[in-house]
Amino acid sequence: MKKEIIFEMTSPYRDKFRIQAYQFGSGEPSVAIVGTMRGDEIHQQYICSQIVNRLKSIERHNRICDGKSVLVIPSCNPFSLNVSRRFWAMDSTDINRMFPGYDKGETTQRIAAAIFKAVEKYEYGMQLSSFYIPGNFIPHVRMLDTGYQDNESAKLFGLPYVSTYKPKPFDTTLLNYNWQIWNTKAFSIYGGETNTINPKNSEQTINAVLRFLFKIGVLNSDVSFPAYESVCFDETILTNLKAPQSGIFVRLKEAGENVKKGESIAKIIDPYEGDVIEEIISPINATVFFVYNKPLTLQNAILFKLLKQN
């Protein structure tokens, strides 16, 4: 294992800001794995740290194939992580909306430029991602539908689902979009949580990454557990259920659970008088793909994403 500082910046208040990368194996740039870009991505940080730990052992046992290399960047935003701010602590900009970056621009643009320079030549790229809405997912692989996405490669992770979605104009500044445009096969890995640690989901995600490395010929032995036969779908088929009113949100179903048409899956409670002011009813037989996980909801916030059962 080799450690490298890919970006460094002095700070007037604390130690220097550093982005540290870990290199395993040697030879052609095979896979780059990028962890947290936002300060609340605790689960992603944990998963990345465990991937580094596993790869150290794998390398010691000579299980990385000759001529293959893996780069892991556990954290791209340690400042925000330290102060529990989701976005860049100084001006609330999002590093993941700054790619491919500009090395003479604003701070987050320069950070993005350094990250992209370090990872742009890799054949495969993985980002441990979080969603813009707070909530829990079924662990899955997500890809931008740019015409360059690779569904068959995404199935090699062995996670339950592979989803694709059409990028909007503001998505063109994402790391994964730019990875694809610059000929890297890019995947966003959603491990189910964001700011909490879920050992079951994290282990599933770690195994998925190691399984993928074996399947593409980076590892010479499979060190993962049995996989799913991934189901691929376009996210336009998901049914979004929104909050009719604001209030206290009490969910009755979790991500991964099956629900029946007409079943009550959540309640919205009046925060003053305690009455049930809205009951969220499933309109279809489905699997809960995503569920909002905050105790308070605003009107029209997305509470559930349901994947219809055949």
Q: Give the C-alpha separation, 309 to 158, whole Å.
A: 20
CATH architecture observed for domain 238-308:
Beta Barrel (2.40)
Distance in angstroms (rounded) separating the CA atoms of residues 104 and 151: 36
Domain ranges of the chain: 2-234, 238-308
CATH for 2-234 is 3.40.630.10
What sign has the CA pseudo-torsion 52, 57, 60, 62? Answer: negative
pLDDT at 280: 98
Dist CA 310 CA 305 (whole Å): 16
How far from chain centre, in Å, is Cα 31?
A: 16
217-227 pLDDT, tens digit each: 999 998 877 88
Which residues, at least 6 apart from 175, have a Cβ–Cβ distance to it below 8 Å?
A: 34, 37, 96, 99, 112, 115, 116, 119, 125, 127, 186
**Per-residue pLDDT tens digits for 75-100:** 999 989 888 899 998 899 999 999 99
Alpha helices in 62-215 (DSSP H): 78-82, 107-119, 151-155, 175-181, 199-215
Residues of the chain under the 70 pLDDT cut: 12-13
pLDDT reported for residue 224: 78
The whole-number pLDDT of residue 83 equals: 86
| Same topology between domain 2-234 and domain 238-308 | no
Assessment of whether the complete model's pTM goes beyond 0.85: yes
Q: What is the pLDDT of residue 10?
A: 86
What integer pLDDT is reported at residue 95 of this predicted model?
96
Asked if 30 and 218 count as a contact pair (C-beta separation under 8 A), the reply is: yes
Q: For 86, phi and psi rounded to 5 degrees?
A: -65, -45
Amino acid in the structure at residue 34: V
Query: Do 33 and 70 contact (CB within 8 A), yes or no?
Result: yes
Query: Encoding tokens for residue 85?
Result: 């701010």
Pairwise CA distance, residues 269 & 296, whole Å: 9
Give the 3-state secondary structure of residue 200: helix
Token duo for residue 44: 């992603």
Count of all residues that appear for the chain in the document: 310
Question: What pLDDT, on the 0 to 100 scale, is given for residue 13?
Answer: 67
Strands 135-137 vs 140-144: parallel, antiparallel or unpaired: unpaired
